[in-house]
Amino acid sequence: MVTFPNQNKRLAKGSPTLLNQGWATQGRFSDRGSATRPSYGRTIRAGVVSWTNGDLLSKGNPANHSGELFSHLGAVMYEPNLGGETQPDIHFLLAGSKEPMIADVLAVSDKGLDQANPFEPLLERIKQKFSTLRRRGISGHLAVRVGAISDRIYKGSEPTTLRLPQLGRFNEVIFDKRFNQFLKAISDDPDSVHTFNVKNADADVSIRFTPHLGGMSAGHPSYTAAYSLRRNPVLNALRRKARKLKRSGFSGTSGIILCDGGCESLRPKMENWSTYTLDEIIAEFFRIRSSVDFVLAIWIEQTPAFAVVSTPKIQSRLFTNREKSNLNEAMLNCLSKACNLLPAPSKTPLNARHHLEWLRKVKRWHEGESFYGGMTVFDRTITISARVALELLSGKLDSKTFSSIYTVSKINPFQRMLEQGRVIVGVIVKPPERPEDDDEWLEFEFGEPDPSIGPFQVPSHGKKDSN
């Protein structure tokens, strides 16, 4: 048997390059405010933590996913009216307990910081500018460096901002006449090292071209690290949720479920001289917002990072407000172990965000991920994605692309069956191993060589002893 895993290839151009491993996509949901168990699309990967950002998933209800998690442990109501100005995401009563609690759910990300520091768009623009040289056969390594507005980076300093103009001013500040001269110099002398620098009030960018090497490297000071204890995405988000919980009218235990939407500050790290850790940020939050009993942090670790296939895993940690916490032992145990009920993620939050943005860009927002590129070959059976087969039969996927997908070591297993004179004698739709997957497997069974498409051969079972 030969098995070729799903390679996450894409059917359209412009697919993001970060989609090696997955975390979450979109799904279908029950109405907000319902006290019933929510309805899920099969693309949901890990409940509450699958939500990367509200603007990408406007149809999504994070409270529903947290409710799915806690519904296994007790009674859950979604966005109940408790007599206050706001409605918490969930109201939860642990089985066997008489004291309910409320919680709000949020997914914190660095997306706002990414938009304020357009480093990735800069790299994309540089790649586009150099594409004409690549097509002419000029090869070389590009090393890109971007500086920060301030070189003073330490614990307690202001958040770091890269010295880059906004996207609309890229051509004016960076890709101007001097940059075109830089490209022309490379074109005229592709065997020499060339450098381009912009260092002024608007930008601090350097690009170095080294001939005969491949690839591209880039670097910049971290703008997502928590240099400021008060001005960071985690504390800002927690303070907003604390205000909402306080106005709900509920006087019992309350907390916040803090989910990883692609935020560096959320991931635990060793205490150091330059940045604040998650422990320090949440301790500061409890100091200024004593009304909150707990914060349940949930994040994704992708380990080992150096492996060919790196599997994302859910990690969690419960933080309690020592000055005020009303959590009893049963509730502490419940919150500490709740994330063990979540299914394994398929994407990191950052990869999920890029995937969703790409789906929206190519107007395929409604599609879940298929087994595109996956294949199993065993004796007389070939198994491929059912969705890919449908796209081929419908004409959406052309035969040339299909052949390139399923040709391995210059061998197309379907073509080999045809050359052997074998025809399809059975097709079975096989369900995926995970019920949340958005595709099925289609298994084609091939018979003995058939004279309808090849030379006549005496079947092996029909041969008789000449004696």
CB burial of 63-100 (b: ≥16 within 10 Å; e: otherwise) equals: bbbbbbbbbebbebbbbbebeeebbbbbbbbbeebeeb
The single residue listed with the structure tokens 């940045």 is 275
Other residues' Cβ atoms within 10 Å of the Cβ of residue 290: 12
Beta strands 294-303 and 253-260, pairing class: parallel
Q: Has residue 216 got a pLDDT over 80?
A: yes
- List, for residues 238-255, the tens digit of each pLDDT value: 999 999 999 999 988 999
Calculate mean pLDDT across residues 95-123.
89
Same domain, 242 and 317: yes
pTM: 0.68
Measure Cα distances from 66 to 78, 105, 467 in Å: 9, 7, 76
Domain that includes residue 119, residue range: 113-219
Beta strands 90-94 and 346-347, pairing class: unpaired
Query: What does the chain come to in residues?
Result: 467
| Widest CA span in the chain | 98
By percentage, how much of the chain surpasses pLDDT 70? 80
Same domain, 214 and 237: no
151 part of a folded domain = yes
Same domain, 165 and 38: no
Q: Which helix (H) or strand (E) holds 425?
A: strand 422-430
Q: C-alpha dihedral over 183, 146, 215, 189, to 10 degrees?
A: 20
- List, for residues 80-104, the tens digit of each pLDDT value: 999 999 999 999 998 888 889 999 9
Q: Has residue 63 got a pLDDT over 50?
A: no
4 part of a folded domain = no
Measured CA to CA, the distance from residue 64 to residue 394 in angstroms comes to: 36
- Cβ–Cβ < 8 Å for 438, 42: yes
Beta bridge partners, 219, equal 145
Q: Sheet containing 90-94: which strands, arranged edge to edge?
A: 74-78, 90-94, 101-108, 253-260, 294-303, 311-320
- List, for residues 169-187, the tens digit of each pLDDT value: 999 999 999 999 999 999 9
Other residues' Cβ atoms within 10 Å of the Cβ of residue 391: 18
Q: Has residue 32 got a pLDDT over 90?
A: no
- Cβ–Cβ < 8 Å for 371, 388: yes
Measured CA to CA, the distance from residue 139 to residue 136 in angstroms comes to: 9
Same domain, 89 and 117: no
Measured CA to CA, the distance from residue 467 to residue 458 in angstroms comes to: 18
Same domain, 152 and 187: yes
Q: Has residue 466 got a pLDDT over 60?
A: no
Same domain, 90 and 152: no
3-state secondary structure of 107: strand
Same domain, 290 and 394: no
